[in-house]
């Protein structure tokens, strides 16, 4: 059993092409209308059957999560990966597993890194145990509002808390740049700073038209908490060959789509020269 190869499951970065906040609910969450899309790159989850559970973190942002340096984290503390493993096991028989997270995405950055990791863990465990990942939508939703979208990994309209999903098509292969100024922003703090004004629903149309006509209603609140976001947006808005730039999720990561990979890479170079984190990739 234990000499089977590890299951390797990508945990791609999520972006919100548009994010309309409609109302605060009695449970403290907010009703959203959002266009979810995914990058081709992100974190990576590896799962292997083992004699006992273990969890370790490596990769460039491992030290942003405890324990630093990618040492063996034992049961994994409060990481969303180990919470996903335990939630999966609570509803479906699962052997002990050794899990490795390669943390390539900055933490608390509006691109769903933790949600993507949790979702990839559910998919990997479904593969390991021969179950259908679509059966774990409720488990995903209990882990976080974004986790069902990350579980499916497909471009989608999200409503409700962001967990009611309808698939959409469009924009696959578009050159995509993510830029993060390396300032962590708390999702809860950004929602709490939202001004409470419903600015209206997502428009109809094809995906790009909807994205263009849409907004990120959390951008003003996030920019108040992390003013450097305005500088990231300004750089991306001014970049040659840009199609659309916007903040993703609750920030601080901003994205831009480009006409060509060369235009994307030129903008990435400008962002790196400012000391910012970049991911040059494509839309999935």
Ligand X SMILES: C[C@@](CO)(OP(=O)(O)O)[C@H](O)COP(=O)(O)OP(=O)(O)OC[C@H]1O[C@@H](n2ccc(N)nc2=O)[C@H](O)[C@@H]1O
And the tokens for 169?
A: 């098509």
Residue 152 in the binding site for ligand ADP (CB under 6 A): no
Residue 80 in the binding site for ligand ADP (CB under 6 A): yes
And the tokens for 36?
A: 């979810």
Please report how the helices 261-273 and 228-238 are oriented relative to each other, as an axis angle in degrees rounded to 10.
150
Q: Where are the alpha helices (DSSP H) in the chain?
A: 80-91, 113-129, 137-143, 147-152, 187-193, 207-213, 219-225, 228-238, 261-273
**Binding partner of residue 16 among ligand X, ligand ADP, none, CB under 5 to 8 Å per kind?**
ligand X
Cis peptide before 252 (omega within 30 of 0): yes
**Binding partner of residue 162 among ligand X, ligand ADP, none, CB under 5 to 8 Å per kind?**
ligand X
Among 77, 86, 196, residue whose Cα is nearest residue 142: 86
What is the closest distance, in whole angstroms, from the C-beta atom of residue 226 to ligand ADP in the complex?
12
Kindly list the residues in this chain that would bind ligand X in the complex (CB under 6 A). Answer: 16, 19, 28-30, 32, 34, 110-112, 115, 144-147, 161-162, 187-188, 191, 249-250
What is the closest distance, in whole angstroms, from the C-beta atom of residue 36 to ligand X in the complex?
7
What is the closest distance, in whole angstroms, from the C-beta atom of residue 59 to ligand X in the complex?
19
Task: List the binding residues for ATP.
Answer: 106-116
Taking the chain, what is the end-to-end CA distance rounded to the nearest angstrom? 33
Query: What is the sign, positive or negative, of the torsion defined by CA atoms of 170, 202, 105, 149?
Result: negative
Task: Return the number of the residue (77 or 203) whose C-beta is nearest ligand ADP.
Answer: 77
Taking phi first (over 0 means left), then psi (-120 to 50 degrees means alpha), and beta for anything else, what does residue 130 get? left
Q: Write each residue from 93 to 132 as x if it is in contact with ligand ADP (CB under 6 A), else as -, in one continuous string.
A: --------x-----xxxxxxxxx-x---------------
Q: What is the gyration radius of the CA atoms in the chain, in angstroms? A: 18
Residue 47 in the binding site for ligand ADP (CB under 6 A): no
Q: Which residue is nearest to ligand X (CB)?
A: 249
| Planar angle of CA 182, 117, 143, nearest 5 degrees | 105
**Binding partner of residue 34 among ligand X, ligand ADP, none, CB under 5 to 8 Å per kind?**
ligand X
Question: Is 146 a residue of the active site?
Answer: yes
**Binding partner of residue 252 among ligand X, ligand ADP, none, CB under 5 to 8 Å per kind?**
none
**Binding partner of residue 145 among ligand ADP, ligand X, none, CB under 5 to 8 Å per kind?**
ligand X
Query: What is the sign, positive or negative, of the torsion defined by CA atoms of 125, 131, 134, 138?
Result: negative
Q: How many residues does the chain have?
A: 284
Task: Return the number of the residue (12 or 110) whose C-beta is nearest ligand ADP.
Answer: 110
- CB atoms inside a 10 Å sphere around CB 105: 29
Question: Is 14 a residue of the active site?
Answer: yes
Q: Which of residues 166-205 bind ligand ADP (CB under 6 A)?
A: 187
Query: Where in the sequence numbering do the catalytic residues fall?
Result: 14, 146
Q: Which residues of the shown chain bind ligand ADP in the complex (CB under 6 A)? A: 65, 79-81, 101, 107-115, 117, 187, 249-250
């Amino acid at each position: 059993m234990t000499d089977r190869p590890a299951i390797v499951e990508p945990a791609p970065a999520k972006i919100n092409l548009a994010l309309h906040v409609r109302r605060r609910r009695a449970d403290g969450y907010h009703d959203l209308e959002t266009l979810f899309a995914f990058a081709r790159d992100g974190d990576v989850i590896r799962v292997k059957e083992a004699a006992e559970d273990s969890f370790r973190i490596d990769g460039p942002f491992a030290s942003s999560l405890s324990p630093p340096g990618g040492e063996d984290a034992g049961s994994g503390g409060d990481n969303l990966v180990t919470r996903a493993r335990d939630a999966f096991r609570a509803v479906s028989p699962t052997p002990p597993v050794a899990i490795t997270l390669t943390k390539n995405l900055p933490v608390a950055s509006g691109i769903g890194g933790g949600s993507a990791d949790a979702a990839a863990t559910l998919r990997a465990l479904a593969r390991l145990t021969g179950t259908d990942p679509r059966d774990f939508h409720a488990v995903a939703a209990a882990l976080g509002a974004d986790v069902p979208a990350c579980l499916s990994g497909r471009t989608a309209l999200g409503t409700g808390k962001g967990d009611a999903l309808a698939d959409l098509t469009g924009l696959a292969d578009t050159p995509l740049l993510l830029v993060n100024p390396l300032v962590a922003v708390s999702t809860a703090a950004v929602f709490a700073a939202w001004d409470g004004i419903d600015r209206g629903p997502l428009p109809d149309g094809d995906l790009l038209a909807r994205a263009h006509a849409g907004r990120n209603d959390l951008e003003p609140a996030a920019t108040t908490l992390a003013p450097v976001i305005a500088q990231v947006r300004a750089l991306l808005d001014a970049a040659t060959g840009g199609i659309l730039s916007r903040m993703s999720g609750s920030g601080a990561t901003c994205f831009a789509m480009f006409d060509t990979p060369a235009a994307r890479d030129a903008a990435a170079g400008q962002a790196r020269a400012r000391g910012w984190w970049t991911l040059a990739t494509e839309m999935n």
